[in-house]
Protein backbone atom coordinates (compact mmCIF):
# COMPACT_ATOMS: atom_id res chain seq x y z
CA UNK A 1 0.00 0.00 0.00
CA UNK A 2 1.37 3.42 -0.96
CA UNK A 3 1.22 6.33 1.45
CA UNK A 4 1.64 10.02 0.67
CA UNK A 5 3.56 11.69 3.50
CA UNK A 6 2.77 15.32 4.26
CA UNK A 7 5.12 17.16 6.60
CA UNK A 8 3.53 20.18 8.22
CA UNK A 9 4.75 23.10 10.31
CA UNK A 10 5.58 22.51 13.94
CA UNK A 11 2.61 22.96 16.26
CA UNK A 12 3.68 25.42 18.95
CA UNK A 13 0.35 25.74 20.77
CA UNK A 14 -2.52 23.52 21.73
CA UNK A 15 -4.86 25.52 19.46
CA UNK A 16 -2.72 24.52 16.49
CA UNK A 17 -3.02 20.88 17.49
CA UNK A 18 -6.78 21.36 17.75
CA UNK A 19 -6.78 22.79 14.23
CA UNK A 20 -4.98 19.68 13.02
CA UNK A 21 -7.61 17.57 14.73
CA UNK A 22 -10.23 19.47 12.73
CA UNK A 23 -8.36 18.44 9.60
CA UNK A 24 -8.51 14.84 10.74
CA UNK A 25 -12.30 14.84 11.11
CA UNK A 26 -13.10 13.77 7.50
CA UNK A 27 -11.02 10.65 8.03
CA UNK A 28 -12.93 9.82 11.19
CA UNK A 29 -16.23 10.24 9.36
CA UNK A 30 -15.13 7.66 6.80
CA UNK A 31 -14.65 4.77 9.18
CA UNK A 32 -11.58 5.89 11.08
CA UNK A 33 -10.87 5.63 14.77
CA UNK A 34 -8.81 7.79 17.12
CA UNK A 35 -6.45 5.91 19.42
CA UNK A 36 -3.27 6.78 21.23
CA UNK A 37 -1.18 6.64 24.34
CA UNK A 38 2.23 7.45 25.78
CA UNK A 39 5.32 5.39 25.08
CA UNK A 40 8.17 4.74 27.47
CA UNK A 41 10.47 7.57 28.47
CA UNK A 42 13.83 7.33 26.72
CA UNK A 43 16.10 5.66 29.32
CA UNK A 44 19.13 7.35 27.80
CA UNK A 45 17.55 10.76 28.40
CA UNK A 46 15.45 10.48 31.56
CA UNK A 47 15.02 14.25 31.68
CA UNK A 48 12.71 14.04 28.65
CA UNK A 49 9.02 13.47 29.10
CA UNK A 50 7.62 10.46 27.29
CA UNK A 51 6.51 10.87 23.71
CA UNK A 52 2.80 10.55 23.04
CA UNK A 53 2.04 9.22 19.56
CA UNK A 54 -1.54 9.17 18.36
CA UNK A 55 -3.00 7.42 15.36
CA UNK A 56 -6.05 8.06 13.23
CA UNK A 57 -6.68 4.66 11.67
CA UNK A 58 -8.79 4.14 8.56
CA UNK A 59 -9.67 0.99 6.69
CA UNK A 60 -6.74 0.11 4.43
CA UNK A 61 -4.66 2.99 5.70
CA UNK A 62 -3.91 5.34 8.53
CA UNK A 63 -3.30 8.95 9.36
CA UNK A 64 -0.55 9.18 11.94
CA UNK A 65 0.94 12.04 13.90
CA UNK A 66 2.97 12.41 17.06
CA UNK A 67 2.91 15.01 19.79
CA UNK A 68 6.43 15.47 21.07
CA UNK A 69 6.62 17.05 24.53
CA UNK A 70 9.00 19.96 24.80
CA UNK A 71 8.37 20.49 28.50
CA UNK A 72 5.41 22.79 27.84
CA UNK A 73 4.39 22.79 24.20
CA UNK A 74 3.35 19.87 22.01
CA UNK A 75 5.14 19.66 18.71
CA UNK A 76 3.71 18.02 15.65
CA UNK A 77 6.34 16.07 13.73
CA UNK A 78 4.60 14.72 10.64
CA UNK A 79 1.66 12.72 9.50
CA UNK A 80 0.89 10.47 6.58
CA UNK A 81 -2.24 9.30 4.89
CA UNK A 82 -3.28 6.66 2.45
CA UNK A 83 -3.65 8.64 -0.77
CA UNK A 84 -5.75 5.94 -2.45
CA UNK A 85 -8.41 5.90 0.24
CA UNK A 86 -8.46 9.55 1.28
CA UNK A 87 -12.03 10.89 1.17
CA UNK A 88 -12.30 13.04 -1.98
CA UNK A 89 -13.52 16.13 -0.12
CA UNK A 90 -11.09 15.89 2.78
CA UNK A 91 -9.29 19.17 3.20
CA UNK A 92 -8.26 21.37 6.06
CA UNK A 93 -11.34 22.90 7.69
CA UNK A 94 -10.92 26.65 7.94
CA UNK A 95 -12.73 28.37 10.80
CA UNK A 96 -14.64 31.43 9.59
CA UNK A 97 -12.89 34.61 10.74
CA UNK A 98 -14.46 38.06 11.10
CA UNK A 99 -12.28 41.02 11.98
CA UNK A 100 -13.60 44.45 12.85
CA UNK A 101 -11.24 47.33 12.06
CA UNK A 102 -12.39 50.31 14.12
CA UNK A 103 -9.65 52.49 12.57
CA UNK A 104 -9.34 55.95 14.19
CA UNK A 105 -12.92 56.00 15.44
CA UNK A 106 -14.80 55.98 18.71
CA UNK A 107 -14.38 57.03 22.29
CA UNK A 108 -14.96 55.17 25.54
CA UNK A 109 -18.66 55.99 25.47
CA UNK A 110 -19.41 54.89 21.90
CA UNK A 111 -17.04 51.92 21.97
CA UNK A 112 -18.47 50.89 25.33
CA UNK A 113 -21.94 50.85 23.78
CA UNK A 114 -20.68 48.80 20.82
CA UNK A 115 -18.96 46.36 23.17
CA UNK A 116 -22.16 46.01 25.20
CA UNK A 117 -24.08 45.20 22.01
CA UNK A 118 -21.54 42.55 21.04
CA UNK A 119 -21.36 41.01 24.50
CA UNK A 120 -25.16 40.77 24.64
CA UNK A 121 -25.64 39.37 21.15
CA UNK A 122 -26.09 35.74 20.22
CA UNK A 123 -23.21 35.09 17.85
CA UNK A 124 -22.22 32.02 15.87
CA UNK A 125 -19.81 30.03 18.10
CA UNK A 126 -18.13 28.62 14.99
CA UNK A 127 -16.78 32.05 13.99
CA UNK A 128 -13.56 33.58 15.30
CA UNK A 129 -14.10 37.29 15.94
CA UNK A 130 -11.30 39.84 16.45
CA UNK A 131 -11.81 43.59 16.95
CA UNK A 132 -9.08 46.01 15.89
CA UNK A 133 -9.09 48.85 18.41
CA UNK A 134 -7.12 52.11 18.33
CA UNK A 135 -3.91 51.62 20.29
CA UNK A 136 -4.96 53.95 23.09
CA UNK A 137 -8.06 51.82 23.66
CA UNK A 138 -6.48 48.36 23.44
CA UNK A 139 -6.53 47.82 27.19
CA UNK A 140 -10.08 49.22 27.43
CA UNK A 141 -11.35 46.96 24.65
CA UNK A 142 -9.65 43.88 26.06
CA UNK A 143 -10.98 44.48 29.57
CA UNK A 144 -14.57 45.12 28.41
CA UNK A 145 -15.07 42.64 25.55
CA UNK A 146 -16.24 39.14 26.35
CA UNK A 147 -13.24 36.77 26.31
CA UNK A 148 -14.76 34.90 23.35
CA UNK A 149 -13.88 37.92 21.21
CA UNK A 150 -10.27 38.63 20.32
CA UNK A 151 -8.66 42.06 20.11
CA UNK A 152 -6.10 43.31 17.59
CA UNK A 153 -3.83 46.31 17.38
CA UNK A 154 -4.04 48.15 14.06
CA UNK A 155 -0.28 48.43 13.61
CA UNK A 156 3.05 47.75 15.29
CA UNK A 157 6.72 48.41 14.62
CA UNK A 158 9.49 46.05 13.55
CA UNK A 159 11.59 46.17 16.73
CA UNK A 160 10.93 45.62 20.42
CA UNK A 161 11.76 49.08 21.80
CA UNK A 162 13.74 52.23 21.18
CA UNK A 163 13.58 55.84 20.06
CA UNK A 164 10.62 55.44 17.70
CA UNK A 165 8.19 58.17 18.71
CA UNK A 166 4.54 57.25 18.22
CA UNK A 167 5.14 53.55 17.54
CA UNK A 168 4.11 50.50 19.57
CA UNK A 169 5.76 47.10 19.75
CA UNK A 170 4.37 43.55 19.83
CA UNK A 171 5.60 43.28 23.43
CA UNK A 172 3.48 46.30 24.41
CA UNK A 173 0.48 44.86 22.59
CA UNK A 174 0.81 41.55 24.40
CA UNK A 175 1.22 43.40 27.71
CA UNK A 176 -2.36 44.65 27.20
CA UNK A 177 -3.57 41.07 26.83
CA UNK A 178 -3.97 41.46 23.07
CA UNK A 179 -2.85 38.71 20.69
CA UNK A 180 -3.46 40.02 17.17
CA UNK A 181 -2.21 42.84 14.95
CA UNK A 182 -3.35 44.15 11.57
CA UNK A 183 -0.42 44.81 9.23
CA UNK A 184 -0.13 46.12 5.69
CA UNK A 185 -3.56 47.76 5.56
CA UNK A 186 -3.97 49.91 2.45
CA UNK A 187 -4.19 53.05 4.59
CA UNK A 188 -0.80 52.23 6.09
CA UNK A 189 0.56 51.61 2.60
CA UNK A 190 -0.99 54.53 0.70
CA UNK A 191 -1.56 57.19 3.37
CA UNK A 192 1.53 56.60 5.50
CA UNK A 193 3.84 55.31 2.80
CA UNK A 194 4.67 51.88 4.19
CA UNK A 195 6.33 49.70 1.56
CA UNK A 196 6.35 45.93 1.14
CA UNK A 197 9.78 45.56 2.74
CA UNK A 198 8.73 47.33 5.95
CA UNK A 199 5.48 45.37 6.12
CA UNK A 200 7.45 42.14 5.75
CA UNK A 201 9.80 43.15 8.56
CA UNK A 202 6.87 44.02 10.80
CA UNK A 203 5.22 40.71 10.02
CA UNK A 204 8.34 38.75 10.93
CA UNK A 205 8.82 40.61 14.21
CA UNK A 206 5.16 40.31 15.23
CA UNK A 207 5.11 36.57 14.57
CA UNK A 208 8.45 36.02 16.33
CA UNK A 209 6.93 37.67 19.39
CA UNK A 210 3.81 35.55 19.45
CA UNK A 211 1.20 37.77 17.84
CA UNK A 212 -1.24 36.56 15.23
CA UNK A 213 -1.09 38.68 12.07
CA UNK A 214 -3.94 39.82 9.86
CA UNK A 215 -1.88 40.61 6.77
CA UNK A 216 -3.58 42.88 4.24
CA UNK A 217 -3.08 42.88 0.50
CA UNK A 218 -4.99 44.45 -2.38
CA UNK A 219 -4.83 46.37 -5.63
CA UNK A 220 -5.77 49.98 -6.43
CA UNK A 221 -8.42 50.86 -8.99
CA UNK A 222 -5.93 51.72 -11.76
CA UNK A 223 -4.17 48.39 -11.19
CA UNK A 224 -7.43 46.46 -11.51
CA UNK A 225 -8.44 48.38 -14.61
CA UNK A 226 -4.94 47.85 -16.01
CA UNK A 227 -5.23 44.11 -15.57
CA UNK A 228 -2.42 43.82 -13.01
CA UNK A 229 -4.44 42.65 -9.98
CA UNK A 230 -2.71 39.26 -9.82
CA UNK A 231 0.76 40.73 -10.25
CA UNK A 232 0.17 43.22 -7.44
CA UNK A 233 -1.38 40.88 -4.88
CA UNK A 234 1.08 38.06 -5.63
CA UNK A 235 4.02 40.43 -5.06
CA UNK A 236 2.52 41.65 -1.78
CA UNK A 237 1.83 38.08 -0.68
CA UNK A 238 5.37 36.96 -1.52
CA UNK A 239 6.91 39.53 0.80
CA UNK A 240 4.63 38.37 3.59
CA UNK A 241 5.28 34.68 2.84
CA UNK A 242 9.03 35.26 2.93
CA UNK A 243 8.65 36.37 6.54
CA UNK A 244 6.31 33.65 7.83
CA UNK A 245 7.43 30.44 9.50
CA UNK A 246 4.15 29.44 11.15
CA UNK A 247 1.14 30.03 8.90
CA UNK A 248 -1.35 29.00 11.58
CA UNK A 249 -0.84 32.46 13.09
CA UNK A 250 -1.56 34.31 9.84
CA UNK A 251 -4.83 35.41 8.26
CA UNK A 252 -4.60 36.92 4.77
CA UNK A 253 -7.01 39.79 4.13
CA UNK A 254 -7.68 40.61 0.49
CA UNK A 255 -8.94 44.19 0.39
CA UNK A 256 -9.24 45.80 -3.03
CA UNK A 257 -8.27 49.40 -2.29
CA UNK A 258 -10.96 50.73 -4.61
CA UNK A 259 -13.63 49.10 -2.44
CA UNK A 260 -12.46 50.35 0.98
CA UNK A 261 -14.72 53.03 2.39
CA UNK A 262 -16.14 53.83 -1.04
CA UNK A 263 -19.40 51.96 -0.81
CA UNK A 264 -18.24 49.84 -3.74
CA UNK A 265 -17.87 46.15 -3.05
CA UNK A 266 -16.20 43.53 -5.18
CA UNK A 267 -18.84 41.16 -6.48
CA UNK A 268 -18.83 37.73 -4.83
CA UNK A 269 -17.47 36.37 -8.10
CA UNK A 270 -14.62 38.92 -8.18
CA UNK A 271 -13.72 38.15 -4.58
CA UNK A 272 -13.81 34.40 -5.15
CA UNK A 273 -11.66 34.71 -8.27
CA UNK A 274 -8.86 36.53 -6.46
CA UNK A 275 -9.08 34.32 -3.35
CA UNK A 276 -8.88 31.18 -5.49
CA UNK A 277 -5.82 32.53 -7.32
CA UNK A 278 -4.18 33.47 -4.03
CA UNK A 279 -4.73 29.94 -2.75
CA UNK A 280 -3.21 28.62 -5.97
CA UNK A 281 -0.18 30.88 -5.49
CA UNK A 282 0.27 29.57 -1.95
CA UNK A 283 0.06 25.99 -3.21
CA UNK A 284 2.74 26.63 -5.84
CA UNK A 285 5.04 28.82 -3.76
CA UNK A 286 4.59 27.71 -0.14
CA UNK A 287 2.87 24.33 0.18
CA UNK A 288 -0.41 22.59 -0.48
CA UNK A 289 -0.94 22.20 3.27
CA UNK A 290 -0.65 25.95 3.80
CA UNK A 291 -2.86 26.67 0.78
CA UNK A 292 -5.58 24.43 2.22
CA UNK A 293 -5.33 25.71 5.79
CA UNK A 294 -4.67 29.45 5.65
CA UNK A 295 -7.71 31.65 5.97
CA UNK A 296 -8.19 34.27 3.24
CA UNK A 297 -10.76 36.87 4.22
CA UNK A 298 -12.33 39.67 2.19
CA UNK A 299 -12.47 43.35 3.11
CA UNK A 300 -13.97 46.28 1.29
CA UNK A 301 -17.30 47.87 2.28
CA UNK A 302 -18.69 44.61 3.71
CA UNK A 303 -22.17 45.17 5.16
CA UNK A 304 -25.00 43.17 6.63
CA UNK A 305 -26.57 43.20 3.18
CA UNK A 306 -23.57 41.86 1.25
CA UNK A 307 -22.01 39.48 3.75
CA UNK A 308 -24.07 36.33 3.16
CA UNK A 309 -23.38 35.98 -0.56
CA UNK A 310 -19.73 36.93 -0.12
CA UNK A 311 -19.36 34.45 2.73
CA UNK A 312 -20.88 31.65 0.65
CA UNK A 313 -17.95 31.65 -1.77
CA UNK A 314 -15.71 28.57 -1.52
CA UNK A 315 -12.46 30.41 -0.86
CA UNK A 316 -13.80 33.34 1.19
CA UNK A 317 -13.08 32.45 4.81
CA UNK A 318 -14.44 35.57 6.47
CA UNK A 319 -14.23 39.34 6.44
CA UNK A 320 -12.22 42.32 7.60
CA UNK A 321 -14.93 44.90 8.23
CA UNK A 322 -14.41 48.64 8.46
CA UNK A 323 -17.27 51.08 9.03
CA UNK A 324 -19.91 48.41 9.61
CA UNK A 325 -17.88 47.00 12.52
CA UNK A 326 -18.81 50.13 14.49
CA UNK A 327 -22.55 49.48 14.06
CA UNK A 328 -24.97 46.86 15.46
CA UNK A 329 -25.06 45.23 12.01
CA UNK A 330 -21.58 43.86 12.79
CA UNK A 331 -23.41 41.09 14.64
CA UNK A 332 -25.24 40.21 11.41
CA UNK A 333 -21.90 40.01 9.61
CA UNK A 334 -20.48 37.72 12.29
CA UNK A 335 -23.53 35.49 11.78
CA UNK A 336 -23.26 35.52 7.96
CA UNK A 337 -22.86 31.73 7.82
CA UNK A 338 -25.96 30.97 9.92
Residues involved in catalysis: 185, 255
CA-nearest of 67, 99, 71, 94 to 216 is 99
3-state DSSP assignment of residue 154: coil
84-109 burial, b at 16+ Cβ within 10 Å, e below that, comes to eebeeebebebebbbbbbbbeebeee
Burial (CB < 10 A; 0-12, 13-18, 19+), residue 155, is: buried
Helix (H) or strand (E) holding 120: helix 108-120
Angle (CA) 242 315 286, round 5°: 25
Task: Tell me the chain's radius of gyration from C-alpha atoms.
Answer: 21
Q: Please tell me what DSSP assigns to residue 323.
A: G
243-273 burial, b at 16+ Cβ within 10 Å, e below that, comes to bbeebbbbbbbbbbbbbbeeeebbebebbbb
| C-alpha to C-alpha distance for 94 and 71, rounded to whole angstroms | 29
Give the Cβ contact number of residue 54 at 10 Å. Answer: 18
| C-alpha to C-alpha distance for 40 and 226, rounded to whole angstroms | 63
Instruction: Determine if residue 318 is left, alpha or beta; phi over 0 gives left, psi from -120 to 50 gives alpha, anything else beta.
Output: left
Amino acid sequence: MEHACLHVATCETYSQVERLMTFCSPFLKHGGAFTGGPTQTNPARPEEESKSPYFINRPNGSLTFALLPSQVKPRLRSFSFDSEHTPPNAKMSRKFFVGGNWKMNGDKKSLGELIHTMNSAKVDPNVEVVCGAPSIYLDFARSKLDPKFGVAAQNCYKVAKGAFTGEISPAMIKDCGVHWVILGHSERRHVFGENDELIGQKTAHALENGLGVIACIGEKLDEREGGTTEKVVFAQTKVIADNVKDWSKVVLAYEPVWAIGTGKTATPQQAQEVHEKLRGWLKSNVSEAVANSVRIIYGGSVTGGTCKELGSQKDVDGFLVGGASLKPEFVDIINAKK
